[in-house]
A and B are shown apart, each in its own frame.
Chain A
Amino acid sequence: MIQTVNLTKEFNGFKAVDNLNLQVEKGDIYGFLGPNGAGKTTTIMMILGLIPPTSGKIFLLGEELRPNNVAIKRRVGVVSENQYLYKEMTAEEYLTFFGELYEVPNVQKRIEELLEAVGLWGDRNKKLGAYSKGMQQKLAFARALLHDPELLILDEPVANLDPTSIKQIRDLIEEENRKGRTVFVSSHILSEVERLCKKVAIINRGRLLAEDTMDNIKRRLTDTVRLEIELSQNAESLSSELSTLPFVKGSTVDGNKLEVHLQTDRDYRLDLSRFLYEKGFLVLAMKTKEMSLEEAFITITQQNISLLAREEGKA
Chain B
Amino acid sequence: MRAVRVMQTLFKRDFLYSLYSFGYYVALFASFIVSSFILKNFLDSIGEEDILVSAYPLNYPLYITLIIISLYLVIISGVSISREREQGTLEVLFYGPVTPGSFLWGKYLKDLCLGMVALGFTAVYFYFVSLLTNLGFTLGLVKALIMSIFLLSCVVSFGLFVSSFTGRIRSSVLALVAILGAFLAIQLGYNALLGFEKESLSVPMLYVRQTMSYVFRGISWVSPFAYLNRGLDSVVLESPLLYVANIGYAVVYSLVFMFLSVYVMGKKGVKA
Q: Is B196 an interface residue (CB 8 A)?
A: no
Query: Which chain B residues numbered 69 to 101 have a C-beta less than 8 Å away from chain A?
Result: 87-89, 91-101
Q: Is A13 an interface residue (CB 8 A)?
A: no
Q: Is A80 an interface residue (CB 8 A)?
A: yes
Kindly supply a per-residue 1/0 record for chain A positions 97-134, scoring 1 wherever the CB is within 8 Å of any chain B CB and 0 otherwise.
Answer: 11011110000000000000000000000000000000
Cβ A50 vs Cβ B96 within 8 A: no
User: How many angstroms from the CA of A166 to the CA of B94 in the assembled complex?
Assistant: 27
Collect the chain B residues with CB atoms within 8 Å of residue A70's CB.
Answer: 2-3, 6, 97-99
User: How many angstroms from the CA of A82 to the CA of B101 in the assembled complex?
Assistant: 25
A-B contact count (CB 8 A): 59
User: How many angstroms from the CA of A147 to the CA of B96 in the assembled complex?
Assistant: 10
Q: Is A76 an interface residue (CB 8 A)?
A: yes
A50 and B91 contact, Cβ closer than 8 Å, known pairs A68-B99, A97-B13, A98-B96 = yes
Q: Is A73 an interface residue (CB 8 A)?
A: yes
Collect the chain B residues with CB atoms within 8 Å of residue A98's CB.
Answer: 96
Nearest-CB distance from B82 to chain A (Å)? 14
Considering the complex, give the chain B residue whose CB is closest to the CB of A84: B88
User: How many angstroms from the CA of A224 to the CA of B2 in the assembled complex?
Assistant: 57
Cβ A82 vs Cβ B270 within 8 A: no
Kindly supply a per-residue 1/0 record for chain A positions 61-95, scoring 1 wherever the CB is within 8 Å of any chain B CB and 0 otherwise.
Answer: 00000011010011010101010111010000000
Nearest-CB distance from A51 to chain B (Å)? 6
Nearest-CB distance from A143 to chain B (Å)? 8
A51 and B97 contact, Cβ closer than 8 Å, known pairs A84-B88, A97-B9, A97-B13 = no
A interface residues, how many (CB within 8 angstroms) = 25
Q: Which of A74, A86, A88 contacts B97 (CB 8 A)?
A: A74
Q: Which of B88, B95, B99, B271 contacts A51 (CB 8 A)?
A: B271
Q: Is A201 an interface residue (CB 8 A)?
A: no
Cβ A50 vs Cβ B94 within 8 A: yes
Q: Is B22 an interface residue (CB 8 A)?
A: no
Cβ B95 vs Cβ A80 within 8 A: yes
Cβ A88 vs Cβ B17 within 8 A: yes
User: How many angstroms from the CA of A60 to the CA of B31 in the assembled complex?
Assistant: 52
Q: Is B5 an interface residue (CB 8 A)?
A: yes
Q: List 22 A-B contacts (CB under 8 A).
A: A49-B94, A50-B91, A50-B95, A51-B269, A51-B271, A52-B269, A67-B266, A70-B2, A70-B6, A70-B97, A70-B99, A74-B96, A80-B95, A84-B92, A86-B89, A100-B9, A101-B6, A101-B9, A101-B97, A101-B98, A103-B5, A147-B96
Interface residues of A (CB under 8 A from B): 48-52, 67-68, 70, 73-74, 76, 78, 80, 82, 84-86, 88, 97-98, 100-103, 147
